[in-house]
Amino acid sequence: MRQKLVVYSDKVEVVEHPCVVVKESVLVKPIYVYLGELERHLLEGSLPSTRPVVLGGSGVVRVVEVQGGETELTGRVYTVTPIGPRGLLGYEEDGLLGNFVSISRSYLDDLLVDPRPIDAVRPLVKHAYSLVTKVSEPVLIEGCNLLGIAAGLILRYMGVEALFYCEQRVRLALQYGFNVYKHISELATRWSTVILTGINQSVKYKLLQRLTANTVVISPLSTTSWIPITPHGGEARILIPRGGEAIEHSIMRKVLDDLSRGLKVLEIDDVKSVLGLLPPRGLGVIVSLRRD
């Protein structure tokens, strides 16, 4: 049984092994894999890669084999979160884009009975919920990406209408009816909560230099490693939620339904076909690997 992996290292290529190489404790068969902003920034060169890495951080997998116990997981279907104690899957750790991959047990998330393609972004919606649980109005979300839009939709269903700041891909938030600022001069300077979801470091630097916020919420998926300290004075809370929190079922269903309008689902026969889909456009693409 040959193993085929989509690997990024200065360029994207399919790496084949004559047999399945198992590096981690859980061998899985990917069913659905989401490709979005992280992959786009990697491939465009705006996010430096420290080593060759298998792409795809969020998705749905079937467990094939488990080493060192927990054999009851075998055969079950789980969502996979990109956020874990060892770093971001698909960036700092090898991801899901292959016909068989091995991952750490810590990245398995929710058990699924009847998986759908849209479940590939379920872990991202859970993480978006963790970003908004402690916000107060007015709320500014930086980043017109799937994570930022999911956070905005969750807040909307909680009765809070967030504003967005995006210098690129403004249309993605506009199509969901959000108010979007594109030029920093248009923004008020004082906010109760600012949520950082985008990867572009210069945008975040410029934003936080100009604004004063009571709370700054930073997603690990934004790969933010530092923020500027402004001379304005005062105090600010910095929150970095690293996991996904339990979210009300009705809100999860509504947000997944909303996001499905902006996502493409493509079924492929061979992982090599993924190369033609990269870098992903819009909110991203969900790749169905059921046939491979």
Which tens digits make up the pLDDT trace of 16-29?
999 888 889 899 99
What secondary structure letter does DSSP report for 230? Answer: P
> Which pLDDT value is given to residue 244?
72
Domain count, the chain: 2
Output the pLDDT for position 1.
75
Q: Which of 238, 253, 60 has its CA nearest to residue 153?
A: 253
Instruction: Determine contact, residues 143/222, Cβ cutoff 8 Å.
Output: yes
Same domain, 31 and 76: yes
Span 238-289, pLDDT tens digits: 999 987 778 899 999 999 999 999 999 999 989 999 999 899 999 999 999 9
Mean pLDDT of 115-137: 96
Q: Is residue 177 over pLDDT 80? A: yes
Asked if residue 118 and residue 131 are part of one domain, the reply reads no
Helices (H), the chain: 37-44, 122-132, 146-157, 170-174, 201-210, 249-260
Task: Confirm whether 230 is domain-assigned.
Answer: yes
User: What would the two tokens of residue 288 be?
Assistant: 């169905």
Q: Mean pLDDT in the chain?
A: 93
pLDDT at 167 over 90: yes
Asked if residue 52 and residue 66 are part of one domain, the reply reads yes
**What is the structure's pLDDT at 121?**
98
pTM of the complete model: 0.95
CA 85 to chain CA centroid, Å, is: 16
Nearest-angstrom CA–CA distance, 246 and 26: 24
Per-residue pLDDT at 125 exceeds 90: yes
Count of beta carbons in the 10 Å neighbourhood of residue 9: 11
| In contact, 228 and 248? CB cutoff 8 Å | no
Q: How many angstroms separate the CA atoms of 284 and 261, rounded?
A: 11
Residues 98 and 159 in one domain: no
Per-residue pLDDT tens for 35-57? 999 999 999 988 888 789 999 99
pLDDT in tens, 54-107: 999 999 999 999 988 788 899 999 999 999 999 999 999 999 999 999 999 999
Q: Which domain holds residue 28?
A: 3-122+256-288
- How far, in Å, are 223, 240, 280 from residue 236 at the CA level? 20, 13, 35
Same domain, 86 and 194: no
Q: Do residue 172 and residue 261 come from a single domain?
A: no
Q: Is the pLDDT of residue 230 over 70?
A: no
Q: Looking at the structure, do residues 52 and 99 belong to the same domain, yes or no?
A: yes
